[in-house]
Amino acid sequence: MKTIGLIGGMSWESSLEYYRILNELIKEKLGGLSSVQCLLYSVDFKPIEQWMHNNKWDEITSHLTIIAQKLEQAGADFIIICTNTMHKLVPQIQTHIQIPIYHIADAAASKIKELGLKKVGLLGTMFTMEEDFYKKRLLEKHHIEVLIPNQEERQEVDRIIFNELVLGKITDPSREFYKQIIVNLQKNGAEGIILGCTEIPLLIKPIDSLIPIFDTTQLHAEFAIEKVLEE
């Protein structure tokens, strides 16, 4: 079994889900007392969140690069970053390590293409929804068109993530709001919805949508397990 290097803590709520899913998947595959072989580096999210909102991405890049190097030195065979937004920095981090970082958008795209879908809605932080690092990868590498909510909706999606979900706060009004946005994206042509923040699956489940939901936490973990068990 290969060893996964996990960069977590952004937030720990979703990192907990990664760890649970990875172990459940290994047990399904190998049975018995099998559990995932991994190294988890869990960061303090507070300074990172402050750097994000003060546009200090160089600080975050340096911080996560050091962590990736530590995981490589400790024996990780590859790295997964347990958050969608930080995949903005994958190209820069990858240049400083020899082991691969497996991109969360590629994991989502694999499932989207399996279902034959060409146009999907994307929910996530403002950074993930508005910047090109996620949408452009899906379009240029996987030929998947991405729709996002309008400005007012994006602001509320982002607020719920940072003020509620990363703190483990799950509320019915927020769930209903997300469900309405999914309906709006479907009306605009979305054939499925990417939950492009690893906390959103804590709030939204497949039953909450009439079109397919792509849980990036689950799909990233599944992708990682495939790599773990490769010969």
The residues that are catalytic are 83, 197
Query: How far apart, in Å, are the Cα atoms of 218 and each of 6, 37, 215, 221?
Result: 14, 17, 5, 5
Which burial class, exposed, middle or buried, applies to 192 when counting CB atoms under 10 A from its CB (0-12, 13-18, 19+)? buried
Sole residue written with tokens 């065979």: 77
Q: Residue length, the chain?
A: 231
